[in-house]
């Protein structure tokens, strides 16, 4: 008999086999928790939100024991926010009188019971838990308070606010961010949709094309009724309907040597959704000079790739570390010539949006120095190292910038 079996046979009378010890442990943990909550429910007074509101008006102190990021999405008007784990250290400063009436509230009513138990153990004699918690309080349309965001933003971004890696501070950072998207087509469509949904404050769309029927197989910003409309205007309509809080700037023009810096300046990140090499090379040079992170994406038939080039970092490669020279036109046909699986740009564009959000928030590990490749037919991702090339003509030790016009001529020669 091994140690786990011995422990099970010593402390447990469940009829489980030797291989079920972990299941037995989890079962007992669940039973123990349910028993504890049942005991607390029998011992601690529980009141509905309407009664809590009435007692609050009579002087009771309502403590919202949810975490800070949860309360960023809204709390009860007049409540004091103290996370449950912080109650022993903080409650005395807020409520020094052990005979004061205290009401505890959480998301659904469980943590508030545990918090009420903690308060009783600390010597507080008049404690009640609010049944149903904040969710029921909100559903019953009782008074709320929004400290960080207004009610629309708190509800719209509530799932972000629950993430410790994002939270209120991160959502505010997204709201202040500016991201430029080069192209409102296959890659730009999914990227723009999810960046707008995420609450990025300002999106700049740059594209000189008009909507064609063949676009609708993969460019979900557009619709059949908008064929012939400028893609930037069609995109503005879709994104505005999705999230009217986001400011959309549109430029119905082609990115070129004369305007590249002016169009992307002052952005926090740039999404490369271009479909030609001259634009990509111009964009790469401008992002390096302006120190703006560039999120690269490309698709071909059933495959795609994504990377991030961050000129703010000394170790970051650039686009020309990957492609020192543009290939001949016949070696890299575009979608109109080679075709593309309709869902593929959606996958790659969403990865680009993810990288842009990570860069804005400063979380996770961005794809700097890595090339992520996706094969849709094999349903397989593969990651390749992409270190900075000391001999790179764009960012290498001997690289020289002679102007954007020279880059255009260089690309035209290929």
Residue 355 DSSP SS3: helix
Quick one: pLDDT band at residue 30, thresholds 50, 70, 90?
low
The Cβ-side half-sphere exposure at 367, using a 13 Å CA radius, reads: 23
- Position 226 in a domain: yes
CA dist., res. 6 & res. 80, Å (int) = 48
Q: Which residues touch 399 (CB under 8 Å, ≥6 apart)?
A: 392, 393
Given the residues 106, 318, 321, 335, the one annotated as active site: 335
Q: Which residues touch 37 (CB under 8 Å, ≥6 apart)?
A: 110, 113
> Which of 127, 158, 189 is at the close of a domain?
158
User: Is there a single domain that holds both residue 147 and residue 202?
Assistant: no
User: Is there a single domain that holds both residue 259 and residue 120?
Assistant: no
Instruction: For residue 232, give its domain range.
Output: 177-412
**Structure confidence by residue, pLDDT tens digits, 263-292:** 999 999 999 999 889 999 999 999 999 999
User: Is there a single domain that holds both residue 79 and residue 128?
Assistant: yes
**Structure confidence by residue, pLDDT tens digits, 57-85:** 999 999 999 988 788 878 999 999 999 99
Does residue 193 register a pLDDT over 80?
yes
User: Is there a single domain that holds both residue 117 and residue 260?
Assistant: no
pTM over 0.85: no
- Position 345 in a domain: yes
What per-residue confidence (pLDDT) applies to 148? Answer: 75
**Structure confidence by residue, pLDDT tens digits, 145-192:** 887 788 788 889 989 988 889 988 899 999 999 999 999 999 999 999
Instruction: Tell me the residue ranges of DSSP E strands in 173-251.
Output: 178-182, 202-206, 247-251
User: Is there a single domain that holds both residue 211 and residue 63?
Assistant: no
> Which of 90, 123, 158 is at the close of a domain?
158
Q: Would you say 184 and 221 are in contact if contact means Cβ atoms under 8 Å apart?
A: yes
User: Is there a single domain that holds both residue 130 and residue 67?
Assistant: yes
Query: Residue 377 corresponds to which tokens in the numbers above?
Result: 């037919």
The domain spanning residue 74 has which CATH number? 3.40.250.10
The domain spanning residue 250 has which CATH number? 3.40.50.720
Alpha carbon separation from 94 to 91, 116, 399 (Å, rounded): 5, 15, 62
- Position 207 in a domain: yes
N-term to C-term CA, the chain? 74
Q: How buried is residue 258: exposed, middle or buried, by Cβ count under 10 Å (0-12/13-18/19+)?
A: exposed
User: Is there a single domain that holds both residue 222 and residue 104?
Assistant: no
Q: Which residues touch 100 (CB under 8 Å, ≥6 apart)?
A: 60, 61, 124, 126
Q: How many domains does the chain have?
A: 2
- The reply to whether 335 belongs to the active site is yes
Dihedral of CA 279/285/291/293: which sign?
positive
- Position 33 in a domain: no
- Position 215 in a domain: yes
**Structure confidence by residue, pLDDT tens digits, 337-347:** 889 999 999 99
- Position 274 in a domain: yes
Q: How buried is residue 218: exposed, middle or buried, by Cβ count under 10 Å (0-12/13-18/19+)?
A: buried
- Position 23 in a domain: no
User: Is there a single domain that holds both residue 154 and residue 269?
Assistant: no
- Position 21 in a domain: no
């Amino acid at each position: 008999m091994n140690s786990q079996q011995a422990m099970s046979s010593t402390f447990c009378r469940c009829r489980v086999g030797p291989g079920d010890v972990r299941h037995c442990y989890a079962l007992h943990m669940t039973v123990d928790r349910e028993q504890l909550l049942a005991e607390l429910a029998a011992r601690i007074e529980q009141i509905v939100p309407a009664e809590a509101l009435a007692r609050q008006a009579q002087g009771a102190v309502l403590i919202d024991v949810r975490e800070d990021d949860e309360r960023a999405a809204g709390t009860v008007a007049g409540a004091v926010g103290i996370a449950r784990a912080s109650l022993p250290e903080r409650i005395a400063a807020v409520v020094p009188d052990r005979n004061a009436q205290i009401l505890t509230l959480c998301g659904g009513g469980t943590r508030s019971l545990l918090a009420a138990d903690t308060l009783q153990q600390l010597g507080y004699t008049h404690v009640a838990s609010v049944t149903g918690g904040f969710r029921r309080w909100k559903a019953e349309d009782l008074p709320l308070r929004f400290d960080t965001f207004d009610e629309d933003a708190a509800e719209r971004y509530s799932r972000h606010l629950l993430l410790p890696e994002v939270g209120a501070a991160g959502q505010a950072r997204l709201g202040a961010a500016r991201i430029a998207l080069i192209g409102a087509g296959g890659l730009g469509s999914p990227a723009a949709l999810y960046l707008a949904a995420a609450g990025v404050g300002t999106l700049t769309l740059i594209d000189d094309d008009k909507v064609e029927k063949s676009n609708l197989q993969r460019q979900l910003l557009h619709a059949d009724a908008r064929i012939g409309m400028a893609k930037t205007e069609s995109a503005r309509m879709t994104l505005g309907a999705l999230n009217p809080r986001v400011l959309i700037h549109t430029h119905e023009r082609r990115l070129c040597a004369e305007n590249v810096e002016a169009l992307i300046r002052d952005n926090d990140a740039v999404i490369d959704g271009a479909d030609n090499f001259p634009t990509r090379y111009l964009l790469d040079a401008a992002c390096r000079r302006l120190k703006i992170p560039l999120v690269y994406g490309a698709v071909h038939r059933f495959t795609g790739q994504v990377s991030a080039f961050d000129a703010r970092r000394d170790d970051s490669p650039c686009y020309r570390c990957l492609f020192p020279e543009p290939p001949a036109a016949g070696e890299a046909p575009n979608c109109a010539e080679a075709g593309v699986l309709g869902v593929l740009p959606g996958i790659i564009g969403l990865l680009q949006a993810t990288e842009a959000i990570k860069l804005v928030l400063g979380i996770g590990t961005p794809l700097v120095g890595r090339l992520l490749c996706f094969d849709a037919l094999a349903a397989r991702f593969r990651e390749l190292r992409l270190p900075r090339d000391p001999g790179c003509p764009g960012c290498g030790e001997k690289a020289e910038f002679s102007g954007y016009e020279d880059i255009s001529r260089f690309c035209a020669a290929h």
